[in-house]
Chain A
């Protein structure tokens, strides 16, 4: 059974700092991995999707990497801004569209 862990559970950084969020998974036989952002009480916004054959994806200030063999993914946020404050979730897709396992997320606070 796939398990997804996100560390740290919460993170507080000053504005402008670069930061890394971590996601680890137990079964390396994945289809793809997706990072989401969730604002309080709201739905999930897709940030980046990395297919199993890829090593990284970039979108603006965000860069996500994937190391299947070690069961890890990282989300790098450059030059953090207060508007980046949210919970970031990692989701691992394995064995079909229904087989998506989510982490609990990392709650990020960027202090002005």
Chain B
């Protein structure tokens, strides 16, 4: 298993500003992911955070809007840039551990953009 800490747990932001979410894992992991969950919707993968190289973004998500850092095997950040009300979501950090490929999630960061 893995214990994942995310900060902040929630925030209210103004339109046009940026917010950085931090994700800390209690063990070294190869695979780290960032998801978005919009109100009433399922989870959508934003990107895979790669250690030592640029993140891999899914269709519809771009680096300018969601820059990601992965300085080591236990830590990653996601920045939501130039926010609009449509960015109001829960953002979730996730890792895969074990041979069975089990997914574990952080507590989530609930973002409200006014």
Which residues of A are interface residues toward B (Cβ below 8 A)? 4, 31-32, 34, 36, 41-46, 49, 51, 89, 91, 93, 97-98, 100, 102-105
Contacts and interface: CB of A to CB of B under 8 A. Distances in A.
Contacts, number: 61
B101 A32 contact: yes
Contact of A102 (B42, B48, B110): B42
A44 B104 CA distance: 8
A34 B105 contact: no
Contacts of A31: 101
Interface of B: 1, 4, 6, 10, 31, 33, 40-43, 45, 48, 56, 58, 90, 92, 96, 100-108, 110
Secondary structure of the B contact surface, majority rule: strand
B101 A97 contact: yes
A43 B107 contact: yes
Nearest to B58: A98
A43 B106 contact: yes
Contact of A49 (B33, B45, B90, B102): B102
9 pairs of A and B residues whose beta carbons are closest in the complex: A43-B108, A44-B105, A43-B105, A43-B107, A102-B43, A102-B42, A104-B42, A49-B102, A97-B96
